[in-house]
Amino acid sequence: MAFKLTYTDGQESDYDDDTKWEVDDGVLKMGREEGKWTVLVSPGHWATIELVPGKARDEDGEGRDGDKDKDEDAEKDEKTEKDDKDKKDDKDKKEDKDKKDDDD
């Protein structure tokens, strides 16, 4: 089922009918085959999922509306999720350091 994913930072990504997905305890799981998830998006990183009327892939691998290949989208999503996690980890480390400095 085609859908549009909006992340908490406002970024939007469109996925076609070939992308399988489910939400499990807030975690968005996506992949080419149901149950074989290649992309996991944590609850803190996505805001909304909007269903879109059928979008199928053309023979050249692009959606009818010219979407990029879903592998590229998946890689971008994984990179965004990793970058966001790294930023959060850096922020947490800084807060821990600041708290320790305050305690001293």
Mean pLDDT of 39-63: 78
Confidence of residue 66 (pLDDT cuts 50, 70, 90): very low
Pair of tokens at residue 90: 């850096």
Q: Which of 2, 12, 3, 33 is nearest to 80 (CA)?
A: 12
Tokens 């499990």 -> residue: 24
Confidence of residue 58 (pLDDT cuts 50, 70, 90): low
Q: Evaluate whether 81 touches 29 at the Cβ level (below 8 Å).
A: no
pLDDT tens digits, 6-35: 999 999 999 999 999 999 999 999 999 999
Structurally, how many domains does the chain consist of?
1
Domain containing residue 75: 3-103
pLDDT of residue 15: 92
